[in-house]
Amino acid sequence: MLLSQTGSYAMRAAIHLAERAEEDGAEPVRVGEIAESIGVPRNYLSKVLNQLVRAGVLSSERGPRGGFALAMPADEISMARIVESVETPLLDRRCLLGRPECTDADPCAAHPHWQALADRITSFLEETTLADLRRTGGKR
Protein backbone atom coordinates (compact mmCIF):
# COMPACT_ATOMS: atom_id res chain seq x y z
CA MET A 1 0.00 0.00 0.00
CA LEU A 2 1.39 3.35 -1.00
CA LEU A 3 -0.48 5.36 1.62
CA SER A 4 -0.89 4.61 5.31
CA GLN A 5 -4.37 4.47 6.78
CA THR A 6 -3.78 7.91 8.27
CA GLY A 7 -2.56 9.26 4.93
CA SER A 8 -5.67 7.91 3.28
CA TYR A 9 -7.88 9.61 5.88
CA ALA A 10 -6.07 12.91 5.33
CA MET A 11 -6.47 12.70 1.56
CA ARG A 12 -10.14 11.80 1.69
CA ALA A 13 -10.88 14.55 4.18
CA ALA A 14 -9.03 17.10 2.05
CA ILE A 15 -10.91 16.00 -1.07
CA HIS A 16 -14.18 16.38 0.82
CA LEU A 17 -13.20 19.90 1.85
CA ALA A 18 -12.27 20.73 -1.75
CA GLU A 19 -15.71 19.59 -2.90
CA ARG A 20 -17.49 21.52 -0.15
CA ALA A 21 -15.47 24.62 -0.96
CA GLU A 22 -16.94 24.54 -4.45
CA GLU A 23 -20.43 24.46 -3.02
CA ASP A 24 -20.23 26.84 -0.10
CA GLY A 25 -17.08 28.86 -0.67
CA ALA A 26 -15.00 29.26 2.46
CA GLU A 27 -17.62 28.00 4.95
CA PRO A 28 -15.90 25.87 7.61
CA VAL A 29 -16.92 22.20 7.72
CA ARG A 30 -17.23 20.40 11.04
CA VAL A 31 -15.33 17.20 11.90
CA GLY A 32 -18.59 15.33 12.38
CA GLU A 33 -19.69 15.93 8.81
CA ILE A 34 -16.34 14.97 7.35
CA ALA A 35 -15.99 11.83 9.45
CA GLU A 36 -19.48 10.67 8.57
CA SER A 37 -19.07 11.51 4.91
CA ILE A 38 -15.85 9.59 4.38
CA GLY A 39 -16.63 6.92 6.97
CA VAL A 40 -13.74 7.15 9.39
CA PRO A 41 -13.47 7.38 13.21
CA ARG A 42 -14.42 10.89 14.27
CA ASN A 43 -11.98 11.37 17.13
CA TYR A 44 -9.05 10.02 15.21
CA LEU A 45 -9.89 12.15 12.19
CA SER A 46 -9.98 15.16 14.48
CA LYS A 47 -6.37 14.54 15.37
CA VAL A 48 -5.38 14.05 11.75
CA LEU A 49 -7.09 17.29 10.69
CA ASN A 50 -5.26 19.10 13.45
CA GLN A 51 -1.97 17.89 12.00
CA LEU A 52 -3.00 19.31 8.63
CA VAL A 53 -3.81 22.62 10.31
CA ARG A 54 -0.41 22.76 11.97
CA ALA A 55 1.19 21.93 8.61
CA GLY A 56 -0.59 24.92 7.09
CA VAL A 57 -2.72 22.91 4.67
CA LEU A 58 -6.01 23.56 6.45
CA SER A 59 -7.40 26.39 8.53
CA SER A 60 -9.67 25.87 11.51
CA GLU A 61 -12.13 27.84 13.61
CA ARG A 62 -13.48 26.93 17.04
CA GLY A 63 -16.93 27.39 18.42
CA PRO A 64 -20.29 27.59 16.63
CA ARG A 65 -19.89 28.17 12.89
CA GLY A 66 -16.43 26.70 13.33
CA GLY A 67 -14.82 23.81 11.50
CA PHE A 68 -12.15 23.15 8.90
CA ALA A 69 -11.43 24.55 5.45
CA LEU A 70 -8.63 24.49 2.89
CA ALA A 71 -6.01 27.10 3.71
CA MET A 72 -5.48 27.79 -0.01
CA PRO A 73 -7.02 26.99 -3.40
CA ALA A 74 -7.40 23.30 -4.18
CA ASP A 75 -5.10 23.50 -7.18
CA GLU A 76 -2.24 24.64 -4.94
CA ILE A 77 -2.40 21.64 -2.60
CA SER A 78 -0.54 18.55 -3.80
CA MET A 79 -1.02 15.01 -2.57
CA ALA A 80 2.61 15.08 -1.45
CA ARG A 81 1.98 18.06 0.81
CA ILE A 82 -0.98 16.39 2.47
CA VAL A 83 0.60 13.00 2.95
CA GLU A 84 3.85 14.49 4.24
CA SER A 85 1.85 16.37 6.85
CA VAL A 86 0.69 13.20 8.53
CA GLU A 87 3.17 10.45 7.79
CA THR A 88 6.93 10.35 7.61
CA PRO A 89 8.65 9.77 5.38
CA LEU A 90 6.46 10.11 2.31
CA LEU A 91 8.41 7.59 0.29
CA ASP A 92 11.82 6.21 0.90
CA ARG A 93 13.21 7.13 -2.49
CA ARG A 94 16.73 6.41 -1.40
CA CYS A 95 16.33 2.67 -1.01
CA LEU A 96 13.55 0.34 -2.04
CA LEU A 97 15.00 -2.36 0.16
CA GLY A 98 15.02 -0.16 3.24
CA ARG A 99 18.75 -0.28 3.85
CA PRO A 100 19.60 2.71 6.04
CA GLU A 101 23.04 3.12 4.48
CA CYS A 102 22.03 2.95 0.83
CA THR A 103 24.00 5.67 -0.97
CA ASP A 104 25.16 6.37 -4.49
CA ALA A 105 28.61 5.21 -3.44
CA ASP A 106 27.30 1.96 -1.96
CA PRO A 107 23.90 1.43 -3.54
CA CYS A 108 21.59 -1.48 -2.80
CA ALA A 109 21.00 -4.13 -5.43
CA ALA A 110 17.68 -2.63 -6.48
CA HIS A 111 18.96 0.92 -6.72
CA PRO A 112 19.22 1.46 -10.50
CA HIS A 113 16.02 -0.48 -11.16
CA TRP A 114 14.07 1.43 -8.55
CA GLN A 115 15.09 5.00 -9.37
CA ALA A 116 13.03 5.53 -12.51
CA LEU A 117 9.85 4.23 -10.95
CA ALA A 118 10.44 6.11 -7.71
CA ASP A 119 10.73 9.30 -9.74
CA ARG A 120 7.37 8.63 -11.34
CA ILE A 121 5.70 7.95 -8.03
CA THR A 122 7.15 11.11 -6.56
CA SER A 123 6.03 13.16 -9.57
CA PHE A 124 2.56 11.70 -9.28
CA LEU A 125 2.27 12.73 -5.65
CA GLU A 126 3.76 16.16 -6.21
CA GLU A 127 1.86 17.03 -9.37
CA THR A 128 -1.57 15.68 -8.49
CA THR A 129 -3.55 18.33 -6.65
CA LEU A 130 -6.85 18.36 -4.82
CA ALA A 131 -8.33 20.11 -7.83
CA ASP A 132 -7.43 17.08 -9.95
CA LEU A 133 -9.01 14.70 -7.46
CA ARG A 134 -12.19 16.62 -6.80
CA ARG A 135 -15.22 14.82 -8.14
CA THR A 136 -16.81 16.56 -11.07
CA GLY A 137 -20.42 15.66 -11.71
CA GLY A 138 -21.47 12.08 -11.01
CA LYS A 139 -22.84 10.88 -7.72
CA ARG A 140 -21.30 11.46 -4.33
The length of the chain is 140
Q: Site map for a second copy, 44-73, x if CB under 8 A? A: ------------------------------
Beta carbon of residue 2, minimum distance to a second copy (angstroms, whole number): 6
Of the residues 26, 65, 116, 139, which one makes contact with DNA according to CB under 7 A: 65
- Considering only residues 105 to 134 of the shown chain, the ones binding DNA according to CB under 7 A are none
Backbone angles phi, psi at 64, to 5 degrees: -55, 145
Say how far residue 65 (Cα) sits from the centre of its chain: 25
Of the residues 2, 41, 93, 110, which one makes contact with DNA according to CB under 7 A: 41
**Alpha carbons 75 and 32: distance in angstroms, whole number:** 25
Which parts of the chain fold into alpha helices (H)? 5-24, 31-38, 42-54, 79-86, 111-127, 130-133
Residues at the contact surface with DNA, assessed by CB under 7 A: 4-6, 9, 28, 30-32, 40-44, 46-47, 49-50, 53-54, 60-68, 87
